[in-house]
Amino acid sequence: MAKEKTQYTCTDCGGITAKWLGKCPSCNAWNTLIETAVDSSGPAKNRYAGMAALAPASEVAVLSDIEAQDVARTPTGQEELDRVLGGGMVEGGVVLIGGDPGIGKSTLILQAMDGLQRSGMHTLYVTGEESAAQVALRSRRLGLDHSQVQVLAETQLEKILATVDKLQPAVVVMDSIQTVYSDQLTSAPGSVAQVRECASHLTRMAKSSATAVVLVGHVTKEGALAGPRVLEHMVDTVLYFEGDTHSTYRLVRAIKNRFGAVNEIGVFAMTEKGLKGVSNPSAIFLSQHTEPVPGSCVLVTLEGTRPMLVEIQALVDSGGPSPRRLSVGLDRDRLAMLLAVLHRHAGVACMDQDVFVNAVGGVRISEPAADLAVLLSIQSSLRGKPLPQGFIAFGEVGLAGEVRPAPRGQERLKEAAKLGFTVAVIPKANAPKKPIPGMTVHAVERVDEAIGLVRELG
Ligand code: TYD
Ligand code: MG
């Protein structure tokens, strides 16, 4: 009977029950029990059996005695993807790539697989969403007419693992993890239980056979990878697609990477022939105003290792009895905090106003160094006066009204100067020692100083 093969495991404490319960009997947490497979070789005793594959029988050694090898990486041929991966696909590495439907996950992965295949790696693309014919059609559209990538249309985990065992590919793609199911469980494909179980089997396979695995995952409406953040713990690298599906540009961000830098961003443009890397993306998040407009301030942000210029737009408008504060691409709680700082430390009040802020181009800005640009765009909208032509800003703002330094300020200034920006308001601690040709730099210590300065400038 299928039922005897499964049990229920608490995602919080790891307690096991035979039946599903609303509350975990071990730790009393609610709704934490999910279906898991019972190891056929016996219960309790074998709970950690799978770990053996992750950490093969080892002896204790002293760190300095261990020969450190650089991980073997193979570039995918997609430079922007290689950048977020930390140089390429790693042997035995597991990559999870998430994003909204239609954003380009399958396209990017197919292009990357073709690149790997060309460099001599055997690749297997397992499709659970589309038929093999649809994948072939896409590869033609991408101009990969003679692609040697092997395709398998299958959703049952045991069959997929058997095929992998037979073909011994160097890279396996599962598009998508939500479509696979294991016979061991009775839950439906896409359920938390199935996604966890299948991902953990595929991860184990990757580690024991040194196969690189790419899992494609959908993002739910709430913005989490469907099912579980638990997937993020299991895998080595987590990449997310950002940007809106209506614009041409797509961003891929590494939010976790055991083999490279986090927050590194790859920028792509969606074209007729698939995704093309944008090698110099610093200016694509600027709207091309012919004249400076109120409520717009250009921020130099540092996402990953590359400085980028992003236009921050603000609209301050008289609101109703409970004014709204909305932000797109920026943190809303941080916006509320900045408005309080602006009032308290610079005497600029927006209490009865609606405040909307937006980072242009669908890019998400997480670093606090955006604060100063957000404040200046709000003030500019409130006054109805544009900031000067060629103006940029960056710097973190503290609750006491101080302007704190941003990492790698020089680099940011140089990038802005290179793109023709001429005036900068930045934190005092970031003031350059040598003047930057073509740029007037105003270094400030406090928010009111920055606000006053901008008033003087125009
Ligand atoms: P897809 O890779 O199928 O998205 P996902 O796997 O994330 O759901 O991409 C689908 C979108 O990309 C679709 O709207 C069509 C567009 N597209 C192009 O613009 N050019 C192309 O060459 C391809 C293959 C797709
Ligand atoms: Mg797809």
pLDDT in tens, 347-385: 999 889 999 999 988 788 989 999 999 999 999 999 999
Q: Is the pLDDT of residue 171 over 50?
A: yes
pLDDT of residue 56: 58
Q: pLDDT of 247-268, one tens digit each? A: 788 889 998 999 988 888 899 9
The residue that leads in pLDDT, 43 or 374, is: 374
Closest atom of ligand 1 to CA, residue 216: 6
Q: Is 179 in the pocket of ligand 1 (CB under 6 A)?
A: no
**CB neighbour list of residue 258: distance below 8 Å, 6 or more residues apart:** 93, 236, 237
Kindly indicate the confidence band of residue 43, based on its pLDDT and cuts at 50, 70 and 90.
very low
pLDDT of residue 336: 95
> What would the two tokens of residue 458 be?
């125009």
pLDDT of residue 188: 86
The residue contributing the CA closest to ligand 1 atom 13 is: 102
The residue that leads in pLDDT, 228 or 166, is: 166
Which residue among 270, 273, 275 has the greatest number of ligand 1 atoms within 8 angstroms of its CB, and so is best to mutate? 270
Q: Is the pLDDT of residue 116 over 90?
A: yes
CA distance 63 to 11: 34
The top-level CATH class assigned to 76-279 is: alpha beta
261 and 86 Cβ atoms separated by less than 8 Å: yes
Q: Is 435 in the pocket of ligand 1 (CB under 6 A)?
A: no
pLDDT of residue 423: 96
> What would the two tokens of residue 205 be?
């396979």
pTM here is 0.80
Kindly indicate the confidence band of residue 219, based on its pLDDT and cuts at 50, 70 and 90.
confident
Establish whether the linkage from the previous residue to 26 is cis, with ω within 30° of 0.
Answer: no
371 and 336 Cβ atoms separated by less than 8 Å: no
pLDDT of residue 1: 41
Average pLDDT over every residue of 59-75: 83
Average pLDDT over every residue of 190-204: 90
Q: Is 378 in the pocket of ligand 1 (CB under 6 A)?
A: no
Q: Which ligand is nearest to the CA of 268?
A: 1
Residue with tokens 């993890």: 177
CA distance 42 to 35: 17
pLDDT of residue 210: 92
pLDDT of residue 35: 84
**Which of 415, 414, 412 lies closest to 394, judged by CA?**
412
Rg (CA), the chain: 26
> What would the two tokens of residue 311 be?
């236009």
151 and 136 Cβ atoms separated by less than 8 Å: yes
Q: Is the pLDDT of residue 58 over 80?
A: no
Average pLDDT over every residue of 443-452: 96
Closest atom of ligand 1 to CA, residue 273: 22
Q: What proportion of the chain, given as a percentage, has pLDDT over 90? A: 60
> What would the two tokens of residue 93 be?
């590495």
Kindly indicate the confidence band of residue 335, based on its pLDDT and cuts at 50, 70 and 90.
very high
What are the residue ranges spanned by the domains of the chain? Answer: 5-38, 76-279, 284-457
Average pLDDT over every residue of 30-34: 85
Measured over the CA atoms of residue 292, residue 296, residue 302 and residue 308, the dihedral's sign is: negative
Q: Is 138 in the pocket of ligand 1 (CB under 6 A)?
A: yes
CA of 275 relative to ligand 1 center, distance in Å: 9
Please check whether the two domains, 76-279 and 284-457, share a CATH topology: no
Q: pLDDT of 294-307, one tens digit each? A: 999 999 998 777 88
Q: Is 276 in the pocket of ligand 1 (CB under 6 A)?
A: no
Q: Is 105 in the pocket of ligand 1 (CB under 6 A)?
A: yes
CATH fold, domain 284-457, is Ribosomal Protein S5; domain 2 (3.30.230)
CA of 82 relative to ligand 1 center, distance in Å: 20
> What would the two tokens of residue 257 be?
């990477």
